[in-house]
């Protein structure tokens, strides 16, 4: 059987690296996407040495042109896509101030481009390829901080960007048939990565379990939900 094709953004480290390895270990061919070419290649070589089928694609996903090039690459080289994991994300809010005046335009713009606009562009460009092939799983890596229950004033832009990603999840999910193609958002919990820090309670392995679950749902699985560890959580 031909391997399924998966795209994972932010694949050079953290949960992106780990979920790429997990998918590759299950006979997926993984297109590992990252903006730091040398770090990305180094990570990919480690997986190739384990005999996994991966390739790299260098892209700064906050740039529209880079997203377009990635979409074109997948179409031309593979002509299909089975799994898209919108994992790349940034958390650059610096303010400790609990005030709406602490919003910073440049932080908001960069955060929205990376955490919300890039998944939007990639879903818009890549779901049609899934439709062509009659199969697709989209996993938007969100955060409890993007829920209206979980919003926190110490991460203003990040919370807004993940709430936007959640709404995009709902809207794209409503546009697919929900059986052959599914679009879901997941929260990995607070995880020990560069973003989460060493004090986080969850291991990377625990963090990616919900991502892998959503990437490999069978046709009875949910569409248009928000999950942590496979269980629904509040928007
Ligand atoms: N860790 C947590 O506790 C936690 C909790 C909830 C949700 N999340 C979400 O989980 C996802 C993965 O986070 P993580 O903890 O694994 O973070 P991480 O270790 O900081 O990794 C983030 C990845 O995203 C990449 N990235 C960022 N901006 C990019 C861009 N413009 N173009 C291409 N790649 C870009 C990074 O590349 P560089 O190496 O080049 O920076 C890196 O590979 C994120 O969406 C995050 O918001 C994390």
User: What is the rounded CA–CA span in Å between residue 87 and residue 98?
Assistant: 27
Tens of pLDDT, residue by residue over 38-93, are 999 999 999 999 999 999 999 999 999 999 999 999 999 999 999 999 999 999 98
**Is the distance from the beta carbon of residue 14 to the nearest atom of ligand 1 less than 6 Å?**
yes
pTM (2 decimals)? 0.97
C-alpha of residue 1 to centroid of ligand 1, in Å: 32
Q: Read off the pLDDT band of 2 (50, 70, 90).
A: confident
pLDDT higher than 80, residue 198:
yes
Q: 36: which residues sit within 8 A by CB, 6+ positions away?
A: 12
Q: Is the pLDDT of residue 15 over 70?
A: yes
Which atom number of ligand 1 is nearest to the Cα of residue 200? 3
52 part of the active site = no
Per-domain residue ranges for the chain?
Answer: 4-232
Per-residue pLDDT, 97: 55
User: Ligand 1 centre from 235 Cα, in Å?
Assistant: 21
Q: Which CATH class is domain 4-232?
A: alpha beta
């Amino acid at each position: 059987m031909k391997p399924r094709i998966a795209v994972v953004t932010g694949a050079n480290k953290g949960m992106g690296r780990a979920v790429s390895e997990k998918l590759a270990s299950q006979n997926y061919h993984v297109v590992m996407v990252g903006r730091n070419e040398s770090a990305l290649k180094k990570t990919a070589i480690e997986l190739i040495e384990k005999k996994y089928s991966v390739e790299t694609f260098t892209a700064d996903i906050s740039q529209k042109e880079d997203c377009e090039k990635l979409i074109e690459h997948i179409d031309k080289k593979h002509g299909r896509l089975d799994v898209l994991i919108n994992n790349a994300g940034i958390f650059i809010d610096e303010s400790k101030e609990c005030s709406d005046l602490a919003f910073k335009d440049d932080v908001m713009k960069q955060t929205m481009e990376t955490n919300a606009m890039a998944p939007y562009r990639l879903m818009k460009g890549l779901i049609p390829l899934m439709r062509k092939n009659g199969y697709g799983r989209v996993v938007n890596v969100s955060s409890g901080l993007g829920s209206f229950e979980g919003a926190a004033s110490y991460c203003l832009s990040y919370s807004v960007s993940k709430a936007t990603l959640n709404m995009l999840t709902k809207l794209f999910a409503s546009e697919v048939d929900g059986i052959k193609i599914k679009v879901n958002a997941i929260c990995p919990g607070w995880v020990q990565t560069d973003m989460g820090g060493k004090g986080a309670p969850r291991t990377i392995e625990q963090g990616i379990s919900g991502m892998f679950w959503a990437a490999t749902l069978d046709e009875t699985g949910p569409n248009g939900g928000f999950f942590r560890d496979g269980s629904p959580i509040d928007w």
